[in-house]
């Protein structure tokens, strides 16, 4: 079940599908990116790809699956409502709440609200931007912010962004058309490929006659050139990095050129991006990037958006997902600030265990025996006390799990008094 087509969400598929043949579900654009990837690996023929649309509910085994529209830094993203025999799980996928997305596909606030009214057992929500106060600005603010740059630039404009950021690319191509520039796409074939896929499927509208091969664009006066490139993370062999060191075969940076890095720096890439920026400035370019100009908005929800998601879905339990430990913890605290009791929030890191009951009957029987033994050792003279019994169960389960799996579990004992049952 794919929520969107970003690299960190589909990149492992060819390796997974080589080992096991499972059906893959996603929206049209997501699956088009996936299909392209699988074709490269020679796996497309045998792959079982099924596309779905937001609000089209379907069933797989005991689960009811409903994709729900969300907005993100790639088109056609969704979250999921998964009906299970135990209750409904809502997974947001990567998201922001953009009230004015470029394609008009607003997040499905009303569906999240309905699910909240019906009862959500657990919410799993994107934690990436939990440190940012306020709301994440709309994607539709980026184009107008870039327009004066296009209006003022005398030289070439080189804009680096992610090849999958279809709505950013859309706005930039529209600006080029408006300000009389021709555009060339550059970078590891990804940029060209994604633009082709997205425009074939109607997710991107390329203005008539705008795109030209690089050689044709490079032959125009600098003031009529736009180059859309990858390399926003300073990747060593990317077009942008080669331009920065004067080694790109077709593009030599000159005084008056404007380089716009319209992307966030992914943590860990600060130094390489920094050195690319320094080198571009040294060559005489004006460089605009997130720290010195408004050239980018994030694809992830900020604090107020995250609170809104919690308030719409009103889950019984909350599991912060997607982010480093600090983000998950921050998101857990944010949930507490909107009234979720801490014992209903689970901080679970990748690799932490879930026990599949059917396949673990033996282990569960042993666990049961360990708990019974702990309870049997209770002083029979003591009066029955829920808290004492709860604490005994908790420590017995913890001890068992720690010894068996070297993990520290969160144990939530629920002690039920059965009327008329013998005590002790
Ligand atoms: Zn993403």
CA distance 356 to 344: 21
CA distance 251 to 239: 9
The SS3 of residue 82 is strand
What's the gap in Å between 298 CA and the centre of ligand 1? 10
What's the gap in Å between 265 CA and the centre of ligand 1? 14
Q: Do residue 283 and residue 307 come from a single domain? A: no
Q: Do residue 122 and residue 146 come from a single domain? A: no
What's the gap in Å between 25 CA and the centre of ligand 1? 16
Q: Do residue 169 and residue 260 come from a single domain? A: yes
What's the gap in Å between 9 CA and the centre of ligand 1? 7
Question: Beta 58-60 vs 63-69: how paired, if at all?
Answer: antiparallel
CATH number of residue 79's parent domain: 3.60.15.10
Q: Which helix (H) or strand (E) holds 182?
A: strand 182-186
Q: Cα separations (Å) of 372 from 50, 358, 368, 392?
A: 48, 21, 6, 10
Q: Do residue 204 and residue 312 come from a single domain? A: no
What's the gap in Å between 84 CA and the centre of ligand 1? 25
- Residue 293 within any structural domain of the chain: no
Number of domains in the chain: 3
Q: Do residue 143 and residue 261 come from a single domain? A: yes
What's the gap in Å between 121 CA and the centre of ligand 1? 24
- Residue 24 within any structural domain of the chain: no
What's the gap in Å between 382 CA and the centre of ligand 1? 55
- Residue 322 within any structural domain of the chain: yes
What's the gap in Å between 72 CA and the centre of ligand 1? 7
The CB-based long-range contact list for 400-409 (8 Å cut-off, 24+ gap) reads 400/366, 400/367, 400/370, 401/367, 404/363, 405/353, 407/352, 407/353
Q: Do residue 149 and residue 236 come from a single domain? A: yes
What's the gap in Å between 299 CA and the centre of ligand 1? 7
- Residue 250 within any structural domain of the chain: yes
CA distance 288 to 262: 8
What's the gap in Å between 77 CA and the centre of ligand 1? 8
Cβ-Cβ contacts under 8 Å for 25 (sequence gap 6 or more): 1, 2, 49, 50, 51, 52, 65
CATH number of residue 172's parent domain: 3.40.50.10710
CA distance 166 to 228: 12
Q: Do residue 358 and residue 417 come from a single domain? A: yes
3-state helix, strand, coil in the chain (%, to 5): 40, 15, 45
The SS3 of residue 83 is strand
Give the residue from 1, 58, 5, 51 showing the smallest Cα distance to 28. Answer: 51
What's the gap in Å between 340 CA and the centre of ligand 1? 26
Q: Do residue 117 and residue 159 come from a single domain? A: no
What's the gap in Å between 94 CA and the centre of ligand 1? 5
Q: Do residue 315 and residue 277 come from a single domain? A: no
Using an 8 Å Cβ cutoff, are 126 and 73 in contact? no
What's the gap in Å between 345 CA and the centre of ligand 1? 23
What's the gap in Å between 80 CA and the centre of ligand 1? 15
* Chain length of the chain: 424
What's the gap in Å between 126 CA and the centre of ligand 1? 10
What's the gap in Å between 221 CA and the centre of ligand 1? 37
Taking only the tens of pLDDT, the chain with its 424 residues reads 999 999 999 999 999 999 999 999 999 999 999 999 999 999 999 999 999 999 999 999 999 999 999 999 999 999 999 999 999 999 999 999 999 999 999 999 999 999 999 999 999 999 999 999 999 999 999 999 999 999 999 999 999 999 999 999 999 999 999 999 999 998 767 888 999 999 999 999 999 999 999 999 999 999 999 999 999 999 988 889 999 999 998 899 999 999 999 999 988 999 999 999 999 999 999 999 999 999 999 999 999 999 999 999 999 999 999 999 999 999 999 999 999 999 999 999 877 755 556 667 788 888 888 888 888 888 778 887 888 888 888 888 888 888 887 777 777 777 777 666 554 4
DSSP 105-164: ----HHHHHHHHHH-EEEEEEE-TTTTS-S-PPPGGGHHHHHHHHHHH--S-EEEE--TT
The owner of tokens 């077709």 is 250
CB atoms < 10 A from the CB of 397, how many? 18
End-to-end alpha carbon distance in the chain = 49
Q: Do residue 185 and residue 88 come from a single domain? A: no
Cβ-Cβ contacts under 8 Å for 353 (sequence gap 6 or more): 405, 407
Q: Do residue 271 and residue 360 come from a single domain? A: no
- Residue 16 within any structural domain of the chain: no
- Residue 107 within any structural domain of the chain: yes
pLDDT of residue 424: 44
Q: Do residue 328 and residue 373 come from a single domain? A: no
Supply the range of the domain harboring residue 312. Answer: 52-135+298-344
pLDDT of residue 355: 59
């Amino acid at each position: 079940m794919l929520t969107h087509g970003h690299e960190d969400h589909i990149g492992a598929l060819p390796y997974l599908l080589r080992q096991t043949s499972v059906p893959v579900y996603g929206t049209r654009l997501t699956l088009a990116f996936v299909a392209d990837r699988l074709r490269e690996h020679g796996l497309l023929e045998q792959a079982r790809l099924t596309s779905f649309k937001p609000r089209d509910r379907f069933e797989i085994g005991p689960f009811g699956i409903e994709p729900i529209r969300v907005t993100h830094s790639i088109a056609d993203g969704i979250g999921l409502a998964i009906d299970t025999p135990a209750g409904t799980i809502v997974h947001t996928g990567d998201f922001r709440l953009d009230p004015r997305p470029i394609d008009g596909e607003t997040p499905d606030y009303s569906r999240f609200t309905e699910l909240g009214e019906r009862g959500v057992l657990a919410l799993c929500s994107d934690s990436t931007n939990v440190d940012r106060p306020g709301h994440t600005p709309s994607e539709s603010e980026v184009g107008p912010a870039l327009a004066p740059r296009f209006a003022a630039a005398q030289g070439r404009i080189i804009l680096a962004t992610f090849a999958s950021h279809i709505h950013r690319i859309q706005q930039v191509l529209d600006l080029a058309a408006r300000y009389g520039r021709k555009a060339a796409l550059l970078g590891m074939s990804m940029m060209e490929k994604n633009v082709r896929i997205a425009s074939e499927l109607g997710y991107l509208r390329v203005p008539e006659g705008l795109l030209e091969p690089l050689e044709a664009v490079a032959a125009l006066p600098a003031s009529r050139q736009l180059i859309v490139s990858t390399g926003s993370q300073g990747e060593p062999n990317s077009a942008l990095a080669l331009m920065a060191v004067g080694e790109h075969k077709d593009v030599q940076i000159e005084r008056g050129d404007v380089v716009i890095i319209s992307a966030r720096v992914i943590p860990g890439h600060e130094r390489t991006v920094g050195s690319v920026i320094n080198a571009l400035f040294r060559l005489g370019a004006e460089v605009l990037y997130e720290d010195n100009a408004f050239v980018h908005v994030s694809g992830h929800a900020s604090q107020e958006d995250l609170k809104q998601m919690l308030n719409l879905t009103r889950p019984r339990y909350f599991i912060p997902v997607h982010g480093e430990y600090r983000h998950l913890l921050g998101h857990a605290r944010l949930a507490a600030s909107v009234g979720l009791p801490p014992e209903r929030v689970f901080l679970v890191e990748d690799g932490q265990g879930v026990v599949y009951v059917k396949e673990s009957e033996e282990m569960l029987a042993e666990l049961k025996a360990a708990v019974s033994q702990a309870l049997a050792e209770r002083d029979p003279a003591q009066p029955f006390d829920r808290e004492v019994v709860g604490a005994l169960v908790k420590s017995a389960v913890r001890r068992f799990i720690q010894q068996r799996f070297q993990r520290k579990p969160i144990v939530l004992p629920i002690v039920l008094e059965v009327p008329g049952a013998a005590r002790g």
